[in-house]
Amino acid sequence: MSVPNRHFDHIVVGAGSAGAIVAARLSENPAKHVLLLEAGPEDRNVWSKVPLGFAKILFNPKYMWQDQETAQEPDLGGRRYALPAGKVLGGSSAINGLIQVRGNPGD
Protein backbone atom coordinates (compact mmCIF):
# COMPACT_ATOMS: atom_id res chain seq x y z
CA MET A 1 0.00 0.00 0.00
CA SER A 2 1.35 3.40 -0.90
CA VAL A 3 0.72 6.55 1.10
CA PRO A 4 2.28 9.32 -1.00
CA ASN A 5 2.69 12.87 0.33
CA ARG A 6 1.04 12.18 3.69
CA HIS A 7 2.11 13.60 7.01
CA PHE A 8 1.71 11.48 10.11
CA ASP A 9 1.96 12.67 13.67
CA HIS A 10 2.61 9.14 14.90
CA ILE A 11 3.87 5.98 13.21
CA VAL A 12 3.34 2.72 15.07
CA VAL A 13 5.36 -0.26 13.83
CA GLY A 14 3.77 -3.64 14.47
CA ALA A 15 0.04 -4.33 14.63
CA GLY A 16 0.18 -6.87 17.41
CA SER A 17 -1.87 -6.47 20.55
CA ALA A 18 0.15 -3.57 21.94
CA GLY A 19 0.75 -1.77 18.63
CA ALA A 20 -2.89 -1.91 17.62
CA ILE A 21 -4.02 -0.57 20.99
CA VAL A 22 -1.46 2.24 20.92
CA ALA A 23 -2.53 3.23 17.40
CA ALA A 24 -6.20 3.13 18.36
CA ARG A 25 -5.65 5.31 21.41
CA LEU A 26 -3.54 7.82 19.46
CA SER A 27 -6.18 8.02 16.73
CA GLU A 28 -8.88 9.01 19.25
CA ASN A 29 -7.67 12.56 18.74
CA PRO A 30 -9.20 13.57 15.37
CA ALA A 31 -6.48 16.20 14.89
CA LYS A 32 -3.77 13.51 14.81
CA HIS A 33 -2.85 11.36 11.83
CA VAL A 34 -1.67 7.87 12.79
CA LEU A 35 -0.04 5.26 10.55
CA LEU A 36 -0.04 1.64 11.75
CA LEU A 37 2.43 -0.59 9.90
CA GLU A 38 2.30 -4.39 9.87
CA ALA A 39 4.58 -6.61 7.78
CA GLY A 40 2.18 -9.53 7.61
CA PRO A 41 -1.31 -10.02 6.19
CA GLU A 42 -4.68 -9.86 7.88
CA ASP A 43 -5.17 -13.05 9.86
CA ARG A 44 -7.55 -15.08 7.70
CA ASN A 45 -5.91 -18.49 8.00
CA VAL A 46 -8.36 -21.07 9.35
CA TRP A 47 -5.59 -22.77 11.35
CA SER A 48 -5.17 -19.72 13.56
CA LYS A 49 -8.81 -19.99 14.59
CA VAL A 50 -8.75 -23.64 15.64
CA PRO A 51 -7.46 -24.63 19.10
CA LEU A 52 -3.81 -25.57 18.74
CA GLY A 53 -4.13 -25.07 14.98
CA PHE A 54 -1.15 -22.72 15.09
CA ALA A 55 1.02 -25.85 14.80
CA LYS A 56 -0.02 -25.99 11.11
CA ILE A 57 1.31 -22.47 10.44
CA LEU A 58 4.18 -22.31 12.96
CA PHE A 59 6.84 -22.67 10.27
CA ASN A 60 5.07 -20.71 7.53
CA PRO A 61 7.05 -17.48 6.90
CA LYS A 62 3.88 -15.78 5.63
CA TYR A 63 2.40 -15.87 9.13
CA MET A 64 5.40 -16.24 11.46
CA TRP A 65 8.75 -14.51 11.81
CA GLN A 66 11.25 -17.33 11.46
CA ASP A 67 14.54 -15.66 12.41
CA GLN A 68 13.89 -14.78 16.06
CA GLU A 69 15.86 -16.60 18.71
CA THR A 70 17.18 -16.16 22.22
CA ALA A 71 20.68 -15.04 23.04
CA GLN A 72 23.07 -17.83 23.93
CA GLU A 73 22.00 -19.32 27.23
CA PRO A 74 25.08 -20.06 29.38
CA ASP A 75 23.12 -22.36 31.72
CA LEU A 76 22.01 -24.42 28.73
CA GLY A 77 25.41 -25.06 27.21
CA GLY A 78 25.41 -21.90 25.09
CA ARG A 79 22.42 -23.04 23.06
CA ARG A 80 19.91 -20.68 21.46
CA TYR A 81 16.20 -21.34 21.18
CA ALA A 82 13.76 -20.31 18.48
CA LEU A 83 11.18 -17.69 19.44
CA PRO A 84 8.51 -17.83 16.77
CA ALA A 85 6.44 -14.65 16.62
CA GLY A 86 3.27 -13.86 14.71
CA LYS A 87 3.59 -11.85 11.50
CA VAL A 88 -0.09 -11.03 11.02
CA LEU A 89 -2.52 -8.34 12.06
CA GLY A 90 -2.81 -9.06 15.76
CA GLY A 91 0.74 -10.42 16.09
CA SER A 92 1.40 -13.48 18.22
CA SER A 93 -1.92 -13.00 20.02
CA ALA A 94 -3.72 -13.81 16.77
CA ILE A 95 -1.99 -17.16 16.39
CA ASN A 96 -1.54 -18.42 19.94
CA GLY A 97 -3.63 -21.57 19.62
CA LEU A 98 -6.58 -19.86 21.34
CA ILE A 99 -4.82 -20.34 24.66
CA GLN A 100 -5.73 -17.94 27.46
CA VAL A 101 -3.79 -17.62 30.68
CA ARG A 102 -5.40 -15.59 33.43
CA GLY A 103 -3.18 -13.76 35.84
CA ASN A 104 -3.13 -14.70 39.48
CA PRO A 105 -5.11 -12.08 41.46
CA GLY A 106 -2.48 -12.32 44.20
CA ASP A 107 0.32 -11.11 41.89
Q: Where are the domains of the chain?
A: 7-37, 40-100
Q: What is the pLDDT of residue 50?
A: 85
* Burial class for 57, CB neighbours closer than 10 Å (0-12, 13-18, 19+): buried
pLDDT tens digit at each of 107 positions of the chain: 566 778 999 999 999 989 999 999 999 999 999 999 999 888 888 888 888 888 888 888 888 888 888 899 899 899 998 888 889 888 888 888 777 788 899 98
Q: What is the pLDDT of residue 2?
A: 63
User: What pTM does this model have?
Assistant: 0.71
Contacts of 39 (CB under 8 A, 6+ apart): 87
